[in-house]
Amino acid sequence: MSNKFHMHKSRLEALVDGVFAIAMTILVLEVKVPNIEDKQSASALWHAIAHDGVVIAAYFFSFAMLGQFWVWHHRLTAKIREIDLPLLVCSLCFLALVCFFPFAAALFGRYITNLTAHFIYLPLMGLILATQAIFFWLAMRRDLILDSVSPIQALAAHRNNLFGCAIFMFAFAPTGYRLHGGITIVCILGGAYLLWHVIKLKKMQNQLETASSTKN
Amino acid sequence: MSNKFHMHKSRLEALVDGVFAIAMTILVLEVKVPNIEDKQSASALWHAIAHDGVVIAAYFFSFAMLGQFWVWHHRLTAKIREIDLPLLVCSLCFLALVCFFPFAAALFGRYITNLTAHFIYLPLMGLILATQAIFFWLAMRRDLILDSVSPIQALAAHRNNLFGCAIFMFAFAPTGYRLHGGITIVCILGGAYLLWHVIKLKKMQNQLETASSTKN
Amino acid sequence: MSNKFHMHKSRLEALVDGVFAIAMTILVLEVKVPNIEDKQSASALWHAIAHDGVVIAAYFFSFAMLGQFWVWHHRLTAKIREIDLPLLVCSLCFLALVCFFPFAAALFGRYITNLTAHFIYLPLMGLILATQAIFFWLAMRRDLILDSVSPIQALAAHRNNLFGCAIFMFAFAPTGYRLHGGITIVCILGGAYLLWHVIKLKKMQNQLETASSTKN
Amino acid sequence: MSNKFHMHKSRLEALVDGVFAIAMTILVLEVKVPNIEDKQSASALWHAIAHDGVVIAAYFFSFAMLGQFWVWHHRLTAKIREIDLPLLVCSLCFLALVCFFPFAAALFGRYITNLTAHFIYLPLMGLILATQAIFFWLAMRRDLILDSVSPIQALAAHRNNLFGCAIFMFAFAPTGYRLHGGITIVCILGGAYLLWHVIKLKKMQNQLETASSTKN
């Protein structure tokens, strides 16, 4: 019994908060202070910055994405009792992808019209979503959900995760088409499969709700 | 009921503390180690650093600003019971602006005589102040103030926020004039409007104080 | 009594979590956004990034290493009651090496076929393992293990530390041979010595287990 | 009463831990990965890194300094009950100097034989020591020491602070002489003044100890 690995949630949260705080701040390092010849010229500086306008817009977009991942992760972790080894490995994969995000965001900001940049930025977001969905699914399978969270609530959270992944798959399909039609087909099939699961979970949730309301 | 979003304050604080710690430390990255030819020459290195004196002074000024924002944010958060979705969104906007601050500070340090740099640095500070004022105003409206904080104290904090924004508006007016007279007019009108609110809140606070002292 | 130095565990943990979060995020700074001439060309960007493929693979490998060190450190710290001065010094040495890790990882990523890069990256990992083993050994010697941790568990943790170091020594032996045969001999002898300790500890542990099971 | 500013210690500690974690990690950014032509050549890479040996040694030295400041700060904060406004301002000054430390350390590492680099690095360390001494002195004056800390212990901590500053002043005197003899005189006089205080505090402490032992 003493050999079983388990970790306090608060420790992982401290690392996650730290990594997100730094990843968010590192995003701005890509917005470079321009070099202009006439240091006094307001218009020259303005044009130089406006030229980087896309980079700045991409910064705020990437920040919003990271913010959303952080909130999502915290909402999932709040439902979990304890971290065991598979959950920890999954969390570290999640963090590795989050730490990699500033690079993808920098690439996306600088080459916003380039297909390759999209093909790194978007699938990375998809992978981050996927690790979160797997994280919570593992927690459900391994019975690590807090007792205060009802099965209905756990199912709803899992359903939201899958729904997010499905939405991502459908949104990525047209981008995939620009590289190869096969990617689009895989995306649509994958998204449809996830959506089918979402619907199944919704039904299961409805049945549980009916059952619990009948009981009361 | 279980669907309502709410978040523990301590989580947001961990992210805020992390972001501020990094933003403060990243400020110094703009102070570059100079390259001089004669590595032994004390005077050459001294001149090279003195040449960057403005950048160093700007570092300490920007640090002081961030320090003040941090203290201010903590004083407001200390009065709040819980974070709900609108407060969270407002906080993430606040953090996005704080993370962007090192870029603006670097721009300000390098182009301190350039109007464009002022027009990015100063309004950013104004926006940070504004997100804080909105943050607390939202908390008051949504009834998320701690019970141990009396209405008089909450009003006083809100009044301080608005007063800070008003002061900023008046201070920005002359800078705005250098670009366009219209900005000055908007700033003065906005500042006056906020000041009028401050005075109204002061009166309300006085009435509450009189009422509570009469009661006792 | 009041003069004896001791520190709360949580303080050290906050610093450790912060340092790891940053070291992990800084790893990605080595993955540079490539500069290509034709900004629209997807294939040019793809080739430029594929050219850095080794750097990206090294990033994920180094991240996994850091993740493992972090988990290991936390598992050891969870068994400790309090930090005294020697433990603190040992922890700061550990952190200094962890902070140095991003440099070694960058070197390793860029010069993956270069023997010198291996000779900095691998011994650094060995030193990090060693500081952890010493950290726990010191805690055992100075009687700072938590009462809730049985002597059998403490011995098992110590044994795992030594086993990790032994494995590292054996793994490093062939690399050492490429520089000098003597390093290989030292590595094999050192690894064998550690392994002998591991076996001795295993026996001691078995005896303790038999004793405790007889008692019950 | 409600208007008096006070802040929970844990909040400041979170910021301090974050800032130190980042400052420590940023130190390593100055150790640059060298560019060599023959990527396979182990000796070329080794020479390139050995050339940066001083920078690497300076990294470990600066890390040790930051580690010591961190430990010192935590030992002082552990004796304090609460943070009020002057203590907060003093702490933020301390943090501003700590954040500035990586720049001074980079300068010191690159221009280790240059007097100007010494004249920035060493006084910065002195200022950091001074802000800590002032921090604790303010806490004593404003009666913010924890009740569990006896006056003898508080005096001993204050004495250690002053002693550290005195040692620094004497150590800086010969360096100061290389620029101007007046600096040496000021350093020696300042150090002597602090030392005189240290002796006075030692006597006061002895009297208190005698008094308390007589009482028992």
Each residue's pLDDT tens digit, B79-101: 998 888 899 999 999 999 999 99
* pLDDT exceeds cutoff 70 at D4: no
pLDDT-derived band at D132, boundaries 50, 70, 90:
very high
Give the three-class secondary structure for C37. coil
Q: Are D178 and D115 in contact (CB under 8 A)?
A: yes
Residue D180 DSSP code: -
* pLDDT exceeds cutoff 80 at C205: yes
Residues on chain A touching C153 (C-beta within 8 angstroms): 2
ipTM, two decimals, is 0.84
Q: Is B164 on the interface with A (CB under 8 A)?
A: no
Q: Are D104 and D59 in contact (CB under 8 A)?
A: no
Contact B17 D23 (CB under 8 A): no
pLDDT-derived band at D216, boundaries 50, 70, 90:
low
Cα dist from D99 to A27, B23, B169, D7, D87, whole Å: 20, 10, 30, 22, 18
pLDDT, mean of residues C174-181: 81
D181: closest CA of chain C, how far (Å): 37
pLDDT-derived band at A94, boundaries 50, 70, 90:
very high
Contact B74 D116 (CB under 8 A): no
* pLDDT exceeds cutoff 70 at D199: yes
Give the three-class secondary structure for C145. strand
Chains contacting C (3 or more CB pairs within 8 Å): A, B, D
DSSP of A134-167, one letter per residue? HHHHHHHHTT-B-TTS-HHHHHHHHHHHHHHHHH
Give the three-class secondary structure for B147. coil
Residues on chain C touching D12 (C-beta within 8 angstroms): none
Closest CA to B146 of B75, B73, B82: B82
Measured CA to CA, the distance from residue A194 to residue B159 in angstroms comes to 50
Measured CA to CA, the distance from residue A34 to residue A52 in angstroms comes to 9
Residue B4: the pLDDT is 62
Beta-strand ranges (E) seen in chain B are: none
The tokens describing A196, both together, are 């089918």
* pLDDT exceeds cutoff 50 at A89: yes
Q: Are D97 and D23 in contact (CB under 8 A)?
A: no
Side-chain-facing half-sphere of B64: CA atoms under 13 Å: 8
Residues on chain C touching A14 (C-beta within 8 angstroms): 13-14, 17
For residue B145, count other CB atoms closer than 10 A to its CB.
Answer: 19
pLDDT, mean of residues C194-210: 89
Give the three-class secondary structure for A82. coil
DSSP of B78-110, one letter per residue? TTBS-B-HHHHHHHHHHHHHHHHHHHHHHHHHH
Residues on chain C touching D59 (C-beta within 8 angstroms): 100
- pLDDT digit string, tens, across residues B101-121: 999 999 998 888 888 888 889
Choose the closest CB to C22 out of A8, A22, A107: A22
Q: Are C159 and C198 in contact (CB under 8 A)?
A: yes
**Exposed, middle or buried by CB within 10 Å (0-12, 13-18, 19+), for B133?**
buried
Choose the closest CB to C2 out of D27, D63, D153: D153
* Alpha helix positions (H), C38-84: 42-51, 53-77
B10: closest CA of chain C, how far (Å): 14
Q: Which residue type, as a one-letter code, is found at position A211?
A: A
- pLDDT digit string, tens, across residues D21-63: 999 998 888 888 888 888 888 888 888 888 888 889 989 999 9
Residues on chain C touching A119 (C-beta within 8 angstroms): 42
Nearest chain A Cα to B106, which residue?
A33
The tokens describing D216, both together, are 């028992």
Q: Is D61 on the interface with C (CB under 8 A)?
A: no
* Average pLDDT taken over every residue of chain C: 88
